Structure 1
């Protein structure tokens, strides 16, 4: 008994009920298959420990559940002559004679098995274990419902019926009302013309639940799909290669890989019904695993292509620094696409994704809080790259730090100071702080005070001012329009002149050289006027105290 029930388990698994059953497609999810497989396995294990109910019957047809299990065992072993004993062949609307082989009992049993594998879903737990069957199912007392099959004309009940055995004992068989519509059900859910032809030509071996002819036909469809994809992509490549804007190597990588796979998958899925898939095969197909992978591969290729084009445009516009932002942006977008693909696949398996999304939301909040500073620095880097307050190589001042920008990273900006040390400033602070870009100056201001002693006469001061203005007008690297020199004020210890000039250079080293030249000429002008510059006030005070 244990061996016989175990032997029919695989066939029973093909007749599972579907809580997520689709009327339009007669499909069932992988999760439902697994759940119902476990539930039916538990029922079968219980049956091995309990004696059969009702009167003894050679074919164990005393209850609806035991009769269906006996039918499943016969079909599993392909003993359709034995399976006929579980069909009620009385009062059929067509002739059942040996001349019409398509309508014989064994032929009807075989067609019923095909319809069951392809479209029926049965819950063993719902079948009655009582000799009289269910009493409160809305059906006549001599009938029990096995399952409801969704057809193009609407739902059809698959029934069992209690019939007389001929010796005063009643047994359960597949109702003659159901047997009568087997030919019509076979037209809708059978193998079809191609399947019936191949199943008669090719030996009926079964590999992993798939008949040999189905496997051969599926392989043939894949090969045809590859030929179709090759021809389509061949023409597409020839057309696109005429456009010089496209990179040929990158184009080939995208089209020959992901696009070709996607075309093959779409072709196979379009022609999938030709192999007359079972409920299990259709459930596996409805996970859309290969289709999701193909679409994901295409989208990842599209992201790479777009990023490549943007990088080229940025380089052509001189925005080389901004190109570094494209890599994290590309990575983030790819991770998002992979996450969406995984959630879609899990949903197709039949799992509830609402709880998963809620968990991801809570986890995302926790991660965002933990990585708040890092996110601020990343946003700061984006702001720096977009607004360009500084670029790599610029000489700038940030707070009390003066130095050259060596790197703008995703977390911090590196400044090489005048002391040759490296300061790392977090991007969040750097982007929101006051940055003085010294490199972007079109000229550099040199501002100083010339202190002449009170012994200097007004004529000497006029002479110094005149020659300094002449220096401003004639010096090659001084901007004479915005530069000036003025007798500013009478200081506590000296008469003060202000020299306010712009050196026409952006390079600080050049600025220092020109500043040195200006200082030397200013010193010569003061000396030629017969006066001198006064040293700092506190030094004068010390000299007076000593004297």
Structure 2
């Protein structure tokens, strides 16, 4: 419960109160207990009136009041007088009794209305004071502080000299204990984990090592800071900071455990045939991280007195504005859902989206990360992926090779036929080619070459294997070209000097008579002896070589 620093100015300027006014209501009783124990206002006679229900003597009553005040100060329990009822007939709404609990975090300290219509500390509270004092302060620290020399109680900047020394020892002790904790974790727990046949326990120890040591240190500080006996203001802020830091340490620990859980899921999903669960693991990891951080922030706010419910309600009022401002984020989130459901690609696939081409590394809530072939990492918003054509090159069953081989014009028809049929034979002899569909033909008369079209498909699993098979295929083609005696053409220009001055120009081709020309046309016609619509016939040792149908 949050309390602010009490404002005593309204009471300090007033004259000495009457005895019947000191305990008239809960607020006056608390003021009497606190105000008359402050330096410059000490009045033991007024203070012991709040301990009226005790059977002890006046000295013991004053000692009990002093110990209770030290407990409240050391624990940083500030009092806001405005929150204390000033009604003399106040009744607790839960119990229905005339009692008032000062702190929800310390319910054993409360006021009751006595038979004399005075508000005083309850008998149960008075009996609990020695136990509360022992729980708040170490007996060794109390023994030391009670026997300190006078100079140790001198103040500098509102803090006594012995407290500066105590802070140094406090910090040093905490760091030493943290080192001991880490040593035990490294030399005993971690070694035991390494002896097991599992790997997840090693990852678990590595992930919790630093946050666990940090939490151990902060819990030590939180449990022992009251021994420093600072003022209530310093103790209040110190306890609040330590509680927040401990919560942050727990969030850090759970954040790392989310990564360990995701790694364990990755091992499990790697054993399944489907790829959907592999894509879900990064999303689960990010969801767990976000959930841990969100719940940690809510817990920290709740523990420090903030009304989280009203905060969430306030966010709901501005939800429309937030939704409009975050529409791109929401679009990317739903885009990631669409990708998971539709599964146009999976991690490791080679895709092309617009100008981006590469291998999918990770599918996140906002974007998908693609590793390009020049090793850069491109983040593509999921909303774009959901509304853009995706070319998944990684899902190709076959990979096409289309090329044109240029042969010189010196190639004879027989060489051309042998070269084309030889390429077909290379395709049929390689198991990495698709055997039911391929095309190899003398395709055109080019400007500087005779062009052979090669149109084949590789039956390979990935791009690396495709490049390897391209390499092997082109080497075989080079060897074939050497065997059949053909040469590959390249763009050239030849200048023929047909004639010089007074010389007759060179005759191109050979002269034929009209009868010879007509006979040649007939010989290549349907009834001619030189027709060869099925291709050139090549003989070896008097027998025709059968290259097959080509498919």
TM-score (norm 2): 0.51
Distance 1:389 1:215 in 2: 54
- How does 1:124-203 map onto structure 2 within 5 Å? 124-125=81-82, 136-137=89-90, 147-148=100-101, 157-158=111-112, 178=121, 184-191=127-134, 195=138, 198-202=141-145
Distance 2:171 2:161 in 1: 12
**Residue 329 (structure 2) aligned to one of 346, 365, 371:** 371
1:229–1:264 contact (8 Å) kept in structure 2? no
RMSD over aligned Cα, in angstroms? 6.7
Which residue does the alignment assign to 1:254?
207
- State the shift of 1:429 in Å: 6.8
What is the DSSP-based 3-state SS (H/G/I as helix, E as strand, rest coil) of the residue aligned with 1:371? helix
1:191–1:276 contact (8 Å) kept in structure 2? no
Residue 87 (str. 1) matches residue 48 (str. 2): yes
- State the shift of 1:149 in Å: 6.0
C-alpha offsets along residues 373-402 of structure 1, whole Å, 9 cap, x if unaligned? 43455556667988449833x7x8x9xx9x
The size of the alignment, in residue pairs, is 421
1:115–1:190 contact (8 Å) kept in structure 2? yes
Residue 476 (str. 1) matches residue 426 (str. 2): yes
1:87–1:179 contact (8 Å) kept in structure 2? no
> Residues 390 and 245 from structure 1, CA distance in 2 versus in 1: closer, same or farther, beyond 3 angstroms?
closer
What is the DSSP-based 3-state SS (H/G/I as helix, E as strand, rest coil) of the residue aligned with 1:157? strand
C-alpha offsets along residues 27-75 of structure 1, whole Å, 9 cap, x if unaligned? xx2xx313xx4xx53xx455567x55xx976999597667764653331
- State the shift of 1:137 in Å: 4.5
Residue 75 (str. 1) matches residue 22 (str. 2): no
> Residues 386 and 254 from structure 1, CA distance in 2 versus in 1: closer, same or farther, beyond 3 angstroms?
farther
C-alpha offsets along residues 245-281 of structure 1, whole Å, 9 cap, x if unaligned? 7599978863542122233445666778988999875
> Residues 83 and 221 from structure 1, CA distance in 2 versus in 1: closer, same or farther, beyond 3 angstroms?
farther
Distance 1:201 1:119 in 2: 22
2:345–2:392 contact (8 Å) kept in structure 1? no
- How does 1:253-402 map onto structure 2 within 5 Å? 254-266=207-219, 281=235, 285=239, 288-305=243-260, 333-360=288-315, 362=319, 365-366=323-324, 368-375=326-333, 378=336, 387-388=345-346, 391-392=349-350
C-alpha offsets along residues 323-354 of structure 1, whole Å, 9 cap, x if unaligned? 99987875665344323222211111111112
Residue 96 (str. 1) matches residue 57 (str. 2): yes
Residue 406 (str. 1) matches residue 358 (str. 2): yes
Which residue does the alignment assign to 2:174?
222
> Residues 339 and 372 from structure 1, CA distance in 2 versus in 1: closer, same or farther, beyond 3 angstroms?
closer
C-alpha offsets along residues 388-433 of structure 1, whole Å, 9 cap, x if unaligned? 49833x7x8x9xx9x99435484587999xxxxxxx9986676785
> Residues 161 and 219 from structure 1, CA distance in 2 versus in 1: closer, same or farther, beyond 3 angstroms?
farther
- How does 1:240-251 map onto structure 2 within 5 Å? 240-242=193-195
Structure 1 gap ranges (5+): 1-28, 140-144, 164-172, 417-423, 447-466, 486-498, 534-547
**Residue 191 (structure 2) aligned to one of 198, 221, 238:** 238
2:33–2:47 contact (8 Å) kept in structure 1? yes
> Residues 310 and 364 from structure 1, CA distance in 2 versus in 1: closer, same or farther, beyond 3 angstroms?
farther
> Residues 273 and 47 from structure 1, CA distance in 2 versus in 1: closer, same or farther, beyond 3 angstroms?
closer
- State the shift of 1:283 in Å: 8.7
Structure 2 gap ranges (5+): 93-97, 362-366, 374-378, 403-416, 440-452, 461-465, 485-523, 535-551
> Residues 428 and 58 from structure 1, CA distance in 2 versus in 1: closer, same or farther, beyond 3 angstroms?
closer
Distance 2:84 2:347 in 1: 77
